[in-house]
């Protein structure tokens, strides 16, 4: 099951809950040995904190402080913000929201959005970056070990009005490929400041 399918399953399962959860917060320096689940609120994980399970929300953002160690992060209608020097042990995904990772972070999985930008600042990702309709920016020596993949939205023939932009700055590296799977999309790849794509760039314009 791919990341987009997992997100849709999350929507279905959590929507069955009849009681809305209050906002969830993990204090600085705290350890949570299980998963965090919220429906109509966000999840805030403090600095120097540990969460061994998943953090999941439907209508809320997920924020993780600096120097933390957490499991997978999944939301539907919300952004994901990951602090500096933080490790995510798994994937981070959202449908309608942005993903932003600050300097020194490590993502041991895939980052994925449908309608949201992905921005990495001095961040290492072991998996892919995947989106349908979101710009992607890598800056300050960020590194993606997998591919950057632009997927096609199922059941839609509408041609997007604006090009999708992928930017690599400040010596950032994509070890895999950049692949545009949506023929309707004009995808532009901007590579600057000694940045590199070690694999192929498929169905996209390099600037």
Supply the range of the domain harboring residue 17: 3-206
Confidence (pLDDT) at 153: 75
Confidence (pLDDT) at 156: 63
Please report the DSSP string for the chain in residue order: --HHHHHHHHHHHHHT--SPPPPEEE-TT-EE-S-EEESSS-EEE-TT-EE-S-EEESSS-EEE-TT-EE--EEESSS-EEE-TT-EESS-EE-SSS-EEE-TT-EESS-EE-SSS-EEEES-EESS-EEESS--EEEESS-EESS-EEEPPPTT--PPPSS-EEEEE-TT-EESS-EEE--TT--EEEEE-TT-EE-S-EES-EE-
Q: How many independent structural domains does the chain possess?
A: 1
Positions of the chain with pLDDT lower than 50, given as ranges: 4, 8-22
Confidence (pLDDT) at 18: 31
pLDDT per position as a tens digit, 55-100: 999 999 999 999 999 999 999 999 999 999 999 999 999 999 999 9
Confidence (pLDDT) at 23: 81
| pTM, rounded to two decimals | 0.87
């Amino acid at each position: 099951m791919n990341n987009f399918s997992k997100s849709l399953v999350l929507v279905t399962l959590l929507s069955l809950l009849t009681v809305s959860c209050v906002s969830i917060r993990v204090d600085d320096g705290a350890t949570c040995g299980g998963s965090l689940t919220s429906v109509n609120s966000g999840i805030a994980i403090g600095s120097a904190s540990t969460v061994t399970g998943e953090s999941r929300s439907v209508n809320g953002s997920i924020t993780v402080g600096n120097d933390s160690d957490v499991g997978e992060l999944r939301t539907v209608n919300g952004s994901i913000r990951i602090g500096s020097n933080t490790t995510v042990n798994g994937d981070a995904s959202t449908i309608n929201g942005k993903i932003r990772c600050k300097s020194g972070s490590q993502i041991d999985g895939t980052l994925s959005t449908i309608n949201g930008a992905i921005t990495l600042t001095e961040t290492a990702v072991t998996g892919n970056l995947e989106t349908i309709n979101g710009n992607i920016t890598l800056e300050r020596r960020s590194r993606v070990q997998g591919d950057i993949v632009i997927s096609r939205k199922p059941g839609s023939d509408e041609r997007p009005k604006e090009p999708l932009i992928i930017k690599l700055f400040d010596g950032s590296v994509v070890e895999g490929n950049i692949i545009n799977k949506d023929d309707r999309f004009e995808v532009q790849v901007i590579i600057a400041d000694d940045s590199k794509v070690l694999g192929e760039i498929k169905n996209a314009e390099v600037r």
